Amino acid sequence: DTAVSQTPKYLVTQMGNDKSIKCEQNLGHDTMYWYKQDSKKFLKIMFSYNNKELIINETVPNRFSPKSPDKAHLNLHINSLELGDSAVYFCASSSGLAGGNYEQYFGPGTRLTVT
Amino acid sequence: QKEVEQNSGPLSVPEGAIASLNCTYSDRGSQSFFWYRQYSGKSPELIMFIYSNGDKEDGRFTAQLNKASQYVSLLIRDSQPSDSATYLCAVTGDYKLSFGAGTTVTVRA
């Protein structure tokens, strides 16, 4: 069974469109994250949720809106897509808040290409 | 200013040699330090973490931490072609992991 899954794996869309990426974890973890990895492979935290509560909201444009309907799911909705949003988006989860010795398990990633 | 710095590489080592990867961080309050490996086109996976000064060994991997110098390193002994990947250093702080840009390692057969 896949521990952290994301859909879709690939997403190609045009500028100005709105799109969503879904993430689910079956590890029973309390904390979930969204990361963005740009073309230079730099992995940067965007959001983190703990028990459905927003913990981290980095300096991300408000076109990005996360939603956590329950502890096992964390979705990412992006409005008015821009060329600079092209990247690989990773979902991750951990049993405790980052800051402790908690391994983060990453999903397979969603490669978003905005044309 | 970057919070976590790594040599971007690429670092090329012959099979069987030791690969040495370095990482420095700026937040003196950081408590835990992680090394992730990422194969091309794949997601990061944890190799090991360390939180006490000194060395921690796990198989062919050894992590070294020096909090006074704000320095953490990873040694890969007996490097294998399957070790060819990008290695990401990550540091905790403010309830988040901050990643370095990664060091790409190529092991020559």
A57 burial level (CB within 10 Å; 0-12, 13-18, 19+): middle
pLDDT by position in tens, chain A (length 115)? 679 999 999 999 999 999 999 999 999 999 999 999 998 888 999 999 998 899 888 888 999 999 999 999 999 999 999 999 999 999 999 998 877 788 899 999 999 999 9
Over chain B, what is the mean pLDDT? 94
CA-CA distance, A74 to A38, in Å (whole number)?
A: 21
A 2-61 → B contacts, CB under 8 A:
40-45, 48, 55-56, 58
CB contact under 8 A, A101 and B51: yes
Q: Compare CB distances from B88 to A43, A48, A55 and report the shortest one's residue.
A: A43
Which pLDDT does position A89 carry in this prediction?
Answer: 98
Does residue B26 surpass a pLDDT of 80? yes
Give chain A's radius of gyration (CA, Å): 13
Which pLDDT does position B84 carry in this prediction?
Answer: 97
Token pair, residue B56, equals: 């921690």
- Comparison of pLDDT for A56 and B55, the residue scoring more: B55
Does residue B1 surpass a pLDDT of 60? no
Asked if the C-beta of A90 comes within 8 angstroms of chain B's C-beta atoms, the answer is yes
* B80-92 mean pLDDT: 96
* B76-86 mean pLDDT: 97
Does residue B8 surpass a pLDDT of 80? no
Q: Compare CB distances from A56 to B38, B42, B95 and report the shortest one's residue.
A: B95
* B77-103 mean pLDDT: 94
Does residue B2 surpass a pLDDT of 70? no
Length of chain A: 115
Asked if the C-beta of B68 comes within 8 angstroms of chain A's C-beta atoms, the answer is no
CB contact under 8 A, B95 and A98: yes
HEC states along chain B?
CCCEEECCCCEEEECCCCEEEEEEECCCCCCCEEEEEECCCCCCEEEEEECCCEEEEECCEEEEEECCCCEEEEEECCCCHHHCEEEEEEEEECCEEEECCCEEEEEEC
